[in-house]
Amino acid sequence: MKIAMIGTGYVGLVSGACFSDFGHDVVCVDKDASKIEALNAGRMPIYEPGLDSLVAANVAAGRLSFTTDLAPAVAGADAVFIAVGTPSRRGDGHADLSYVFGAAEELAATLDHDCVIVTKSTVPVGTGDEVERILRDGAPGRLHSVASNPEFLREGAAIGDFKRPDRIVIGAEDAQGEAVLREVYRPLFLNEAPILVTRRRTAEMIKYAANAFLATKITFINEIADLCEAVGAEVQDVARGIGLDNRIGAKFLHAGPGYGGSCFPKDTLALLKTAQDNEVPLRLVEATVQANDLRKRAMGRKIIQAMGGNARGKTVALLGLTFKPNTDDMRDSPSLAIVQTLLDAGARVTAYDPEGMEIAAPMMPDVEMKQSAYAAAEGAHAVAIITEWDAFRALDLARLGSSMADKLFVDLRNIYRRDEVARHGFRHIAIGTRAE
Ligand SMILES: NC(=O)c1ccc[n+]([C@@H]2O[C@H](COP(=O)([O-])OP(=O)(O)OC[C@H]3O[C@@H](n4cnc5c(N)ncnc54)[C@H](O)[C@@H]3O)[C@@H](O)[C@H]2O)c1
């Protein structure tokens, strides 16, 4: 099949590379000329494990290419995917659909054949109807089919998620949309990926309901962690104790500094806006959003409290800045609020992140970026693990502590056992466990 991908960000690039790996002929389009230039020179604009070799192999095979030019990319395409950003609209939290509608308008003006247009971006219920209207008004007489195919990949594990998805959701209003999408994903049926075909609005809703549920699950265990600290219980054992119940499931039960990233914060807000517009209260999601917002700064205060309640003039070394490991994505990362809380309290902050520092540095200009965890810890009064990168799971604790001014180890991801940290003379503070 011939596929065009409009938007070559995390989702567009990974989806485009994987579709081409299935054997389809894929052209990825982006307005950002520097991104396309980098890709054409073999450089990845994002950090995602395995992406560079996947892209290189499919470019070499002649199945994958990159361009800023929409017209040749969509000429003769069987399916055109829209995978542009849908960030929070400034000021009100609604999804900003200007990129999606902009892409639809460009398609209406450019396509000279009937085609299936698929929204892969996360969009509020009813967006497909509006895309259809734009295409009808902009290209009268054309019979485009507009479908929804929400994406569930996780950054850091994106290729595996795309190639071995838990499910594929197709929202179609006509037989053509369903048939073309079934054909696009046919290579995955051989792996028996379940495919769920629904009406378009239902598919749009599934994506938001999934993200809101996962955000709520994380927030639930974070609040249980706080209660564990107050009553002397161990949240990791509680998480295991409930997660082994098949009705609950073990995933997304890791207590930590709160969720961040490019999806959960903006998608929960957008869902709440849809609910408000329709006068349907979603109290659980409201509580989740509020609890998570408060939690991020609370984590900064937790570090300060561990330092005796006063961080003025002291140095805190942060290990990890990205919202999760194996990505350089800094969007809505808890580290942003933690850094601000520490700086507001008069602390000096150093940091090391294996992949995120280039993007993080301009977002936190007062933080001193270092070239290793050990360099960040030099002279520090506390180290705090913010992101559970593998590189932080087996630190040489003797070396780490040897140059510190005070040996305090705050583990906001619960990746160390207290006894192994204490053995090297550290005081240990973690999440959802007794203070010491
Ligand atoms: N990042 C994730 O993990 C993830 C997972 C699932 C779903 N999603 C959803 O997928 C969508 C895309 O997310 P992302 O993280 O890939 O965004 P991104 O910001 O990384 O990429 C979007 C790209 O679209 C380009 N673009 C915008 N308008 C364009 C146009 N008219 N023509 C060509 N290119 C255009 C931008 O230049 C940018 O490169 C969002 O709706 C997001 O919610 C993201």
Q: Which fold has domain 2-198?
A: Rossmann fold (3.40.50)
Which residue's CA is minimally distant from atom 21 of ligand 1? Answer: 9
Per the DSSP assignment, residues forming a β-bridge with 351 are 318, 369
Q: Specify the residue for token string 């989740």.
A: 288
Question: What percent of the chain clears pLDDT 90, i.e. is strictly above it?
Answer: 96
Residues of the chain with CATH 3.40.50.720: 2-198, 199-436
Query: What is the pLDDT confidence band of residue 334, given thresholds at 50, 70 and 90?
Result: very high
Per the DSSP assignment, residues forming a β-bridge with 168 are 195
Residue 188 confidence (pLDDT): 87
d(C-alpha 28, C-alpha 6), whole Å: 6
Residue 93 confidence (pLDDT): 87
Q: Ligand 1 in contact with 153 (CB < 6 A)? A: yes
* Mean pLDDT calculated for residue range 297-324: 97
- For residue 195, the surrounding DSSP H or E stretch is strand 195-198
Going edge to edge, which strands form the sheet with 427-430? Answer: 368-369, 348-352, 315-319, 382-385, 408-411, 427-430
d(C-alpha 328, C-alpha 146), whole Å: 33
**298 CA to centre of ligand 1 in angstroms:** 31
72 Cβ contact partners less than 8 Å away, ≥ 6 residues apart: 27
**343 CA to centre of ligand 1 in angstroms:** 32
Query: What is the pLDDT confidence band of residue 92, given thresholds at 50, 70 and 90?
Result: confident
Q: Ligand 1 in contact with 268 (CB < 6 A)? A: no
Which residue's CA is minimally distant from atom 31 of ligand 1? Answer: 103
The domain 199-436 is placed in CATH, from the list 3.40.50.720, 3.10.105.10, 3.40.1380.20, 3.30.420.40, at: 3.40.50.720
Query: What is the pLDDT confidence band of residue 157, given thresholds at 50, 70 and 90?
Result: very high
Q: Specify the residue for token string 């795309």.
A: 162
Burial 333-358 (b: 16+ CB within 10 A, else e): bbbbbbbbbbbebebbbbbbbbbbbe
Q: Ligand 1 in contact with 83 (CB < 6 A)? A: yes
Per the DSSP assignment, residues forming a β-bridge with 115 are none
**192 CA to centre of ligand 1 in angstroms:** 28
Positions marked catalytic:
263
Residue 63 confidence (pLDDT): 98
Closest CA to 85 of 55, 123, 49, 51: 123
d(C-alpha 124, C-alpha 267), whole Å: 9
Evaluate whether 386 touches 318 at the Cβ level (below 8 Å): yes
Per the DSSP assignment, residues forming a β-bridge with 369 are 351
Average pLDDT value over all residues in the chain: 97
Evaluate whether 414 touches 396 at the Cβ level (below 8 Å): no
pLDDT of residue 102 exceeding 90? yes
Residue 90 confidence (pLDDT): 83
Q: Specify the residue for token string 């070394």.
A: 317
d(C-alpha 186, C-alpha 168), whole Å: 11
Which residue's CA is minimally distant from atom 35 of ligand 1? Answer: 7
* Mean pLDDT calculated for residue range 305-312: 97
**48 CA to centre of ligand 1 in angstroms:** 15
pLDDT digits (tens, 9 = 90+) for 217-260: 999 999 999 999 999 999 999 999 999 999 999 999 999 999 99
**Cα dihedral 398/402/407/408 (nearest 10):** -60
205 in helix, strand or coil? helix
Which residue's CA is minimally distant from atom 27 of ligand 1? Answer: 84
Q: Ligand 1 in contact with 85 (CB < 6 A)? A: yes
Residue 193 confidence (pLDDT): 86
Residue 436 confidence (pLDDT): 65
* Mean pLDDT calculated for residue range 252-278: 97
Which of 262, 266, 322, 326, when mutated, tests ligand 1's pocket best, judged by the most ligand atoms within 8 Å of its CB?
262
Query: What is the pLDDT confidence band of residue 192, given thresholds at 50, 70 and 90?
Result: confident
- Residue 411 is given by DSSP the state E
pLDDT digits (tens, 9 = 90+) for 281-293: 999 999 999 999 9
Instruction: Transcribe 37-100 into DSSP letters.
Output: HHHHTT--SS--TTHHHHHHHHHHTTSEEEES-HHHHHTT-SEEEE----PBPTTT--B--HHH
287 in helix, strand or coil? helix
Query: What is the pLDDT confidence band of residue 200, given thresholds at 50, 70 and 90?
Result: very high
- Residue 391 is given by DSSP the state G
Residue 406 confidence (pLDDT): 97
- Residue 324 is given by DSSP the state S
Residue 232 confidence (pLDDT): 95
pLDDT digits (tens, 9 = 90+) for 53-80: 999 999 999 999 999 999 999 999 999 9
Shortest-distance atom of ligand 1 to CA 267: 43
Residue 34 token pair: 């520097």
**329 CA to centre of ligand 1 in angstroms:** 13
Which residue's CA is minimally distant from atom 28 of ligand 1? Answer: 99
* Mean pLDDT calculated for residue range 386-405: 97
d(C-alpha 131, C-alpha 151), whole Å: 18
